[in-house]
Chains A and B, each alone.
Chain A
Amino acid sequence: MKANNEMNQSTVSHEDPVILQQETFLQKLWSWLFENKVMLLFLLICVGGVAVSGNSASFVIENVAIRFGRNAFTVMSLLIPVLAGLGLNFSIVIGAIAAQIGLFFAVDWGFNSIMGMLIAFLIATPLAMLFGFGVGRLFNKMKGSEMIAGLILGYFADGLYQLFFLYILGGILPVKTESLIIPGGIGIKNTIDLTGNMKYALDEVKLVDIVLIFFVIIAVVSVFRIIAKLKKKEKSVMKDLIILLLAAAVYALTYVPAVEKMLMTSKLSLLNVFLIIAVVGIVYVIWKIVSNKLHPDPKFKALRYIMIIVAIVLLYALTYIPELEKILMNSKVPALPLALIAGLSLFNAAFLSTRIGQNMRTVGQSRVIANASGINVDRVRVLAMIISTVLASWGQLIYLQNLGTFATYGAHLQVGQFAIAALLIGGASVSKATNKQAITGVILFHTLFIVAPEAGKVLFNNAMLGEYFRVFVSYGVIALALAMHAWQRKKKPSLELPA
């Protein structure tokens, strides 16, 4: 996570290096405040809401932790289309639909727990790819209206989905499990209970197994790389060998009884999460300093990195306050979804530095320039949609297995709405969104979700009022972001012509 922050900062600053150098501290602070105004506003609302609602801090933190594991993956699936200039992808609803079709058949065929998730995953992924491809092709016909088209497409897809689940399944296509069908009718019931088969299938994967999966992935990748390099007669296989050995060593550690016992759990407390973040952050900073010693860089500011270490240590020291420690011990996040979220944020960051990621950014900045430099604009846009749709379908699988009840006709409806609202609350805009904003956004949005009804009750003696306020916020923030984006673009007309 630290790595991403660094990346974002560097991407921000390289846009206007001259101006940045001349700024005084006060100006810097002011521009930081201005850039993060949306996020700060919601931070204030959330803090106020928590204070007013009278919910205990432990209640709020515990619930936010649960909802973070449930929703963050989907929100992050929105980032790549923003990069490619497609704006906020309202059509992730279609990814969610792919996931729900997969999950339904997994339940129908009687698969359980992790096996069921695997079947759902195997059905949902190709479906989502196909859908993403179709959506991408359609968006290429409506360049410039992707957001409104995506929104309408979501509703349209919902109509087809209802047709499929209400009339085709059970009517034309046979359904194996009788209990899933509406009694005395055709079509699938309103809710499918996942308790006993798929509920917590991903959440309950133990840390040991995650380490094993991680090890297998690294092993396979490094073996392939070594073979490829040997074939090409390149000499630098040492690096891959070291990585392979390191991974093996880490995996071997899990056989130490004490470590094994520790890893037999499937849930991480927030305290452990913070510890991991702190350790990873410090290791990263030290690696930065060491690598600077090896290849000195004149712009390198050692002081800054030392400050970061001090900050991490100080923040971590805060967790020794007994009350806070207790809360953090009790708030738990399921390990596998958390690992997947971390993996996705690394993917989003690493993707930027690949060639296709760079192409995507070029397309996002100007289709004309991208076209002139030989990038197949249409193909890049379709690819962005495929990636986003597939990620959204995985996100929906994570969401549903954690929730444990699958509302057949409702689970997908608000996916795009809430994910986009969360991303925007984190400070993202139509043309720029980062991992950091997604994570902050999910935390703030769901804090608001949790405290709004109680706060409404206390302030206005009406819980529904808080509920409506929350809905208003989710619509209003999107309206505001869209309007501000269009406004800014009008003020500074870009050179871009419609491609």
Chain B
Amino acid sequence: MKMKSLIDRIGWPRLIIGLFFLLLIIVSPIMGLSLTDVFSDVLRRWSMFGILVLAMVPGVQSGIGLNFGVSLGIVAGLIGGTTAIEMNFRRSGTYQPWADLGLSLLIAIPIAIVLGYVYGLLLNRVKGSEMTVSTYVGFSAIALSNIVWLALPFKSGTLVWPIAGEGMRNTISLEESFGGIMSNPDVTARQPFPLNLLAFKVGGVVVPIGTILFVLFICLLMWLFLRSKWGVAMSAAGENELFTKSNAINVDHMRILGTVISTVLGAVGIIMYAQVFGFLQLYNAPLMMGFACVAAILIGGASTRRATISNVIIGTLLFQGILTTSLPVIKQLMPQGSTLSEVIRIIISNGIILYALSKSRGGNQVEG
């Protein structure tokens, strides 16, 4: 009886995936893989995706559901990143990682606020079909940004194709910009005193402590926000529209607030992602990123109507953990199975979204 209630609380999918993750960690050293590498990878991936997954929380809480349209924020972040690099190139062209990072955020966040506001207005018009609409708004945003990448008149050598001299590259290296300044020990070692502690190695495990702290800091801000007057009003709007209205809270405004915060977090998230990864990925690379974020928070135990910070932290750990640990294990087991990890990712992430959709019933889910 007690066992059953415990399982119910954790939820079957989370339990199975959690056990699978544990199994992979136990199997790795037996198969001759170094455990330190495994932990390094898990930490790295967790810090990469943390904020992007966190971007789901305000969306779900404010009632717009799983925000597949986080791609809008991602595009804003990418515009910020590329513009910052171009401005550095036009200014001096020297190595100024912190200025680049700050400038990226400074450019990206206002764009994300504007996009998020407009997007929120749209989502208020399509109540009940937010997820379908947001998925395709996300796709359209990426497709439109493809045109933007080709058309922006940037000149920096790291951004544009070397021969053509115009049109941005698919992947832009951040080696000469803010790549790894909060996550890569090799990069941080070149920084002055307090900054060189932002990433270090402990017994072979790379700890990107700067990024981890940053993610946790943003999580803390979100946690505080959700407990503030505005945050409570926003969650109430997502939970029960009529009740909220009767308490003289403007539901539409709260939904817009949630959408804007989600979009801004998407923009900050992709910049952090690029910082850890070391590359900005343009064109169709972020097309399915919204799906990965949605899957992660659902694995963490969120539903389409409720999401918490702990869902984000646990979900990102489990989802990214499985993906990073399964890859080397599979490679050892069957050398030909190089893409099996990718196949597993597709099945798990879409399977968990389907599962969550089939569980979700209620006013907000009703479409024609």
Residues of A within 8 A of B (CB): 85, 87, 138, 141-149, 151-153, 155-156, 158-160, 162-163, 166-167, 182, 184-187, 430-431, 460, 462, 464-465, 468-469, 471-472, 474-476, 478-479, 482-483, 485-487, 489-490, 498
Which chain B residue lies CB-closest to A182?
Answer: B336
Are B137 and A486 closer than 8 Å at their CB atoms?
Answer: no
A489 contacts across to B, CB distance below 8 A: 128, 368
The 21 listed contacts between A and B (C-beta, < 8 Å) are A87-B367, A87-B368, A144-B367, A152-B350, A153-B354, A155-B346, A159-B350, A163-B347, A184-B336, A186-B336, A430-B368, A464-B167, A472-B144, A476-B143, A476-B144, A478-B136, A479-B139, A482-B129, A483-B126, A485-B368, A486-B128
Are B136 and A475 closer than 8 Å at their CB atoms?
Answer: yes
Are A487 and B135 closer than 8 Å at their CB atoms?
Answer: no
Q: Which of B140, B339, B353, B360 contacts A166 (CB 8 A)?
A: B339
Asked if B337 CB lies within 8 Å of chain A CBs, one says yes
A148 and B367 alpha carbons, distance in the complex (Å): 10
Which chain B residue lies CB-closest to A149?
Answer: B357
Are A151 and B150 closer than 8 Å at their CB atoms?
Answer: no
A490 and B366 alpha carbons, distance in the complex (Å): 12
Asked if B42 CB lies within 8 Å of chain A CBs, one says no
A145 and B140 alpha carbons, distance in the complex (Å): 20
Which chain B residue lies CB-closest to A155?
Answer: B350
Are B343 and A159 closer than 8 Å at their CB atoms?
Answer: yes
B136 contacts across to A, CB distance below 8 A: 475, 478-479, 482
Residue pairs across A and B with CB atoms within 8 Å: the count is 141
A186 and B335 alpha carbons, distance in the complex (Å): 10
Shortest B284–chain A CB gap in Å is 9
Shortest A283–chain B CB gap in Å is 39
Which chain B residue lies CB-closest to A465?
Answer: B150
Shortest A415–chain B CB gap in Å is 16
Are B358 and A141 closer than 8 Å at their CB atoms?
Answer: yes
Other A-B pairs, 17, CB within 8 Å; known A468-B147, A490-B128:
A138-B354, A144-B128, A145-B132, A145-B360, A148-B135, A158-B346, A159-B346, A167-B340, A431-B368, A460-B151, A464-B167, A465-B151, A474-B143, A479-B140, A482-B132, A482-B136, A490-B127
Which chain B residue lies CB-closest to A139?
Answer: B358
Q: Which of A141, A464, A475, A486 contacts B143 (CB 8 A)?
A: A475
Are A468 and B343 closer than 8 Å at their CB atoms?
Answer: no
A160 and B348 alpha carbons, distance in the complex (Å): 10
A146 and B366 alpha carbons, distance in the complex (Å): 10
B340 contacts across to A, CB distance below 8 A: 163, 166-167
Beyond A156-B346, A156-B354, whether A468 also contacts B150 by CB under 8 A is yes
B291 contacts across to A, CB distance below 8 A: 155
A160 and B358 alpha carbons, distance in the complex (Å): 19
Shortest B119–chain A CB gap in Å is 11
Beyond A166-B340, A471-B146, A490-B128, whether A152 also contacts B354 by CB under 8 A is yes
B127 contacts across to A, CB distance below 8 A: 486, 490
Are B131 and A145 closer than 8 Å at their CB atoms?
Answer: yes
Shortest A100–chain B CB gap in Å is 16
Are A162 and B343 closer than 8 Å at their CB atoms?
Answer: yes
Which chain B residue lies CB-closest to A479?
Answer: B136
> Quick one: which of B126, B132, B137, B336 has the most chain A CB within 10 A?
B132
Asked if B351 CB lies within 8 Å of chain A CBs, one says yes
A296 and B350 alpha carbons, distance in the complex (Å): 59
A430 contacts across to B, CB distance below 8 A: 368
B125 contacts across to A, CB distance below 8 A: 483, 486-487, 490
Shortest A464–chain B CB gap in Å is 6
Asked if B365 CB lies within 8 Å of chain A CBs, one says yes
> Quick one: which of A163, A460, A475 has the most chain B CB within 10 A?
A475
Are A479 and B366 closer than 8 Å at their CB atoms?
Answer: no
A464 contacts across to B, CB distance below 8 A: 150, 167
A167 contacts across to B, CB distance below 8 A: 337, 340, 343
Beyond A145-B365, A187-B336, whether A151 also contacts B135 by CB under 8 A is yes
B27 contacts across to A, CB distance below 8 A: none
Asked if B197 CB lies within 8 Å of chain A CBs, one says no
Are B343 and A163 closer than 8 Å at their CB atoms?
Answer: yes
Beyond A460-B151, A486-B126, whether A162 also contacts B133 by CB under 8 A is no
